[in-house]
């Protein structure tokens, strides 16, 4: 059986989702989980994009062992050099460079002729190959590139030293049969030798996974995608869907992957929490309803025999019942550490002590502490690595059903401690008006969501917000047992990230 290599670009193309800004510590945590998931390649970011991106990719290269770590670069020397400098300590560093080859991109965006693009591909792939033997080249918008020209470009890239050729359907335009034909055509018309062929699909027509699977049937060696299908516009191919489809229908594809399917649900939840991108309930494999049966006939069938209506065994993708851990206010550090290890988290002593302290505080407020509660506490630890300029010291909200709500906040910021009060139509609006006064920011609240981390009246509430300020759109989130406190802190988190995105200094502990 052929082995398909899984190339994860959650940290690069996934982070290109509007509103998603991951901190270096959050990226590192996702990378660690991708190693547990056993992906073959982690595209860790775009090192030339910013100093923050560079240092995240560098940190991931040092920590993510046993996988290929890849950095993206335009076909320009400075991007390629930055990519190499960031990944050079990885076990297997890969430079991924791209240059658009469709007529529309060459004429309107790059303003280059075909001859110039050919020359630049040749020169830049050769340059990348002087830095590392593991060079991947992508003719961007390969899905809309003239086929003869595509063949020509692939020949040039291979001759110049590329070891992986990725043909992206950058704008998600192709149908599965067309994408498969394109892959076959390239393979049939170019001498590949041991060079790998790769697929990279976008979901503009909802066909990213179908196109990726069609490419596998057509013989590609590698597929690229993201966890939960996040990414530019409508997103990328969902890696978890591809991995499960390949596992379930291995005979039809004659292919398998190295993915540890039991890590899928955990990975999906981590990515959703850290990116703030909620997984739709009806999403295949990882949606909340993916294994829920509503109608009587289905329920009857599943009770009699699960496989009447379930083609995937939920436990195979790591979906275990939310077991209530036998952990409470009388539990000690050892039991807590052991439970965390069973969930896949191995924390350093200092981190463990911090999470344990929060766990004890939570036990005072909550009767039953579940696995989800503890995962939320662990995630919050990473979350606090964003040491932006603003921190909430004090919050008081007064609200009812027939008067304006009032909120008083005290915030430590770049100019010291400030206190403000404001009114609003509800508690949250009052808080946000007060925080706007404290920070002096002109913000537009684009979205606000409260999610219950666990069931029950004493559940932890997670608030996710998206704010816009000028050209920037960023997300913030916070988990707390009080939703008004979570609302305030999520908003401040978004403001801190906004400042980070604008290039302000941020302290991060790796
Ligand atoms: C399909 C994809 O997902 S591609 C990856 C997308 N990811 C990103 O863009 C990462 C984040 N990007 C960034 O931080 C910035 O865009 C940077 C640092 C890469 C470049 O920033 P700037 O130098 O300010 O350029 P800007 O983004 O405005 O414009 C892009 C320039 O690169 C050129 N360019 C675009 N693609 C390529 C390429 N593959 N190789 C070489 N040049 C390219 C454009 O033609 C344009 O050049 P021009 O300034 O001569 O017109
Ligand atoms: C950089 C390339 C591979 C890309 O992301 C795309 O074309 O969608």
Q: Look at residue 505 in the predicted model and tell me its pLDDT.
A: 37
- Minimum CA distance residue for ligand 2 atom 2: 140
Q: Which helix (H) or strand (E) holds 153?
A: helix 147-160
Q: What is the pLDDT of residues 251-282, one digit of tens each?
A: 999 999 999 999 999 999 999 988 888 899 99
User: What ligand 2 atom has the least distance to the C-alpha of 72?
Assistant: 1
280: CA distance to ligand 1 center in Å?
A: 31
CB neighbour class for 148 (10 Å; exposed up to 12, middle 13-18, buried from 19) = exposed
Q: What is the pLDDT of residues 441-477, one digit of tens each?
A: 989 998 898 887 766 766 778 898 889 888 788 888 8
Residue with tokens 């792939």: 125
Of 57-71, 142-156, 303-317, 354-368, minimum mean pLDDT range:
354-368
Of 8-22, 219-233, 442-456, minimum mean pLDDT range:
442-456
Ligand 2 pocket member 96 (CB < 6 A): no
422 by DSSP, 3-state: which?
Answer: strand
Ligand 1 pocket member 108 (CB < 6 A): no
User: What ligand 2 atom has the least distance to the C-alpha of 13?
Assistant: 5
- Minimum CA distance residue for ligand 1 atom 11: 49
Of 125-129, 402-406, 457-461, minimum mean pLDDT range:
457-461
212: CA distance to ligand 2 center in Å?
A: 14
Q: Look at residue 325 in the predicted model and tell me its pLDDT.
A: 54
Which listed ligand is nearest to 170 at the C-alpha?
2
Percent of the chain scored above 70 by pLDDT?
A: 93
Q: Which helix (H) or strand (E) holds 445?
A: strand 444-452
Alpha-carbon dihedral sign for residues 275, 278, 284, 285: positive
Ligand 2 pocket member 236 (CB < 6 A): no
Ligand 2 pocket member 172 (CB < 6 A): no
Task: Band the pLDDT of 401: cuts 50, 70, 90.
Answer: confident
d(CA 214, CA 227): 19
Mean pLDDT of 139-165: 98
238 secondary structure, DSSP code: B
Task: Band the pLDDT of 361: cuts 50, 70, 90.
Answer: confident
Ligand 2 pocket member 168 (CB < 6 A): yes
Structure tokens at 479: 């988990």
80 by DSSP, 3-state: which?
Answer: helix
82: CA distance to ligand 1 center in Å?
A: 14
d(CA 375, CA 347): 12
Q: Look at residue 322 in the predicted model and tell me its pLDDT.
A: 45
Position 164 pLDDT exceeds 70: yes
Q: What is the pLDDT of residues 423-441, one digit of tens each?
A: 999 999 999 999 999 999 9
Q: What is the pLDDT of residues 372-398, one digit of tens each?
A: 777 777 766 655 555 578 999 999 999
Position 126 pLDDT exceeds 50: yes
170: CA distance to ligand 2 center in Å?
A: 6
Q: Domain 2-275: give its CATH code.
A: 3.20.20.70
- Minimum CA distance residue for ligand 2 atom 1: 98
Residue 383 assigned as binding residue: no
Q: Identify the CATH homologous superfamily for domain 391-501.
A: Alpha-isopropylmalate synthase LeuA, regulatory domain (3.30.160.270)
Ligand 1 mutation pick, 13, 46, 112, 167, max ligand atoms within 8 A of CB: 46
Average pLDDT of every residue of the chain: 90
366 by DSSP, 3-state: which?
Answer: coil
Count other Cβ atoms within 10 Å, centred on residue 354. 17
CB neighbour class for 471 (10 Å; exposed up to 12, middle 13-18, buried from 19) = exposed
The complex scores an ipTM of 0.98
In this structure, are residues 41 and 94 in contact, taking their beta carbons and an 8 Å threshold? yes
83: CA distance to ligand 1 center in Å?
A: 14
Residue 236 assigned as binding residue: yes
d(CA 77, CA 81): 6
Residue 260 assigned as binding residue: no
Which listed ligand is nearest to 222 at the C-alpha?
2
Ligand 2 pocket member 136 (CB < 6 A): no
- Minimum CA distance residue for ligand 1 atom 15: 49
- Minimum CA distance residue for ligand 2 atom 6: 170
Taking alpha carbons only, the member of 199, 158, 192 closest to residue 178 is 199
Position 8 pLDDT exceeds 60: yes
359 by DSSP, 3-state: which?
Answer: helix
Task: Band the pLDDT of 507: cuts 50, 70, 90.
Answer: very low
Ligand 2 pocket member 224 (CB < 6 A): no
Structure tokens at 379: 């995630």
User: What ligand 2 atom has the least distance to the C-alpha of 168?
Assistant: 7
Q: What is the pLDDT of residues 296-348, one digit of tens each?
A: 888 888 888 999 999 999 999 998 754 445 677 777 888 788 777 766 677 78
pTM, rounded to two decimals: 0.82
Question: Would strands 416-424 and 405-413 be described as parallel, antiparallel, or unpaired?
Answer: antiparallel
46: CA distance to ligand 2 center in Å?
A: 12
Structure tokens at 141: 């918008």
In this structure, are residues 114 and 146 in contact, taking their beta carbons and an 8 Å threshold? no
- Minimum CA distance residue for ligand 2 atom 7: 170
């Amino acid at each position: 059986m052929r082995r398909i290599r899984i190339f994860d670009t959650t940290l690069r193309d996934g982070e290109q989702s509007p509103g998603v800004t991951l901190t270096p510590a959050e990226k590192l945590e996702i990378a660690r989980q991708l190693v547990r998931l056993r992906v073959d390649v982690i595209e860790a970011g775009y090192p030339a994009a910013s100093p923050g991106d560079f240092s995240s990719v560098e940190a991931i290269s040092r920590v993510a062992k046993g996988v290929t770590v890849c950095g993206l670069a335009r076909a320009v020397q400075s991007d390629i050099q930055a990519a190499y400098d960031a990944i050079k300590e990885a076990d297997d560093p890969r430079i991924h460079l791209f240059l658009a080859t469709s007529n529309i991109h060459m004429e309107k965006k790059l303003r280059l002729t075909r001859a110039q693009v050919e020359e630049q591909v040749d020169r830049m792939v050769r340059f990348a190959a002087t830095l590392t033997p593991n060079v991947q080249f992508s003719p961007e918008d390969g899905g809309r590139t003239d086929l003869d020209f595509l063949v020509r470009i692939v020949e040039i890239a291979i001759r110049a030293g590329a070891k992986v050729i990725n043909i992206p359907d950058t704008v998600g335009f192709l149908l599965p049969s067309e994408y498969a034909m394109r892959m076959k055509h390239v393979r049939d018309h170019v001498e590949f030798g041991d060079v790998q062929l790769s697929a990279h699909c976008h979901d503009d027509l909802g066909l990213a996974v179908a196109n990726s699977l069609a490419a596998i049937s057509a013989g590609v060696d590698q597929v690229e995608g993201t966890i939960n299908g996040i990414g530019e516009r409508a997103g990328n191919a969902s890696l978890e869907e591809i991995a499960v489809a390949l596992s379930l229908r291995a005979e039809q594809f004659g292919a398998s992957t190295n993915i540890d399917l039991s890590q899928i649900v955990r990975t999906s939840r981590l990515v959703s929490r850290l990116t703030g991108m909620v997984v739709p309930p009806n999403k295949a494999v990882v949606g909340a309803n993916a294994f829920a049966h509503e109608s009587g006939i289905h329920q009857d069938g599943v009770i009699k025999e699960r496989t009447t209506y379930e083609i995937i065994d939920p436990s195979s993708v790591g979906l275990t019942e939310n077991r209530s851990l036998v952990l409470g206010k009388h539990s000690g550090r050892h039991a807590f550490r052991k439970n965390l290890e069973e969930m896949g988290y191995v924390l350093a002593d200092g981190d463990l002590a911090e999470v344990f302290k929060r766990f004890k505080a939570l036990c005072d407020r909550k009767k039953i502490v579940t696995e989800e509660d503890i995962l939320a506490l662990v995630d919050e630890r990473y979350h606090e690595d964003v040491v932006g300029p603003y921190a909430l010291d004090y919050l008081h909200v007064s609200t009812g059903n027939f008067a304006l709500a009032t909120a008083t906040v005290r915030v430590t910021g770049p100019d010291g401690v400030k206190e403000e009060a404001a009114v609003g139509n509800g508690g949250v609006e009052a808080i946000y008006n007060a925080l706007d006064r404290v920070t002096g920011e002109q913000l537009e609240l684009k979205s606000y969501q409260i999610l219950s981390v666990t069931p029950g009246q004493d559940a932890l509430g997670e608030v996710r917000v998206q704010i816009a300020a000028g050209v920037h759109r960023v997300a913030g989130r916070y988990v707390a047992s009080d939703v008004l406190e979570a609302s305030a802190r999520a908003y401040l988190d978004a403001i801190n990230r906004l400042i980070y995105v604008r290039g302000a200094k941020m302290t991060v502990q790796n």
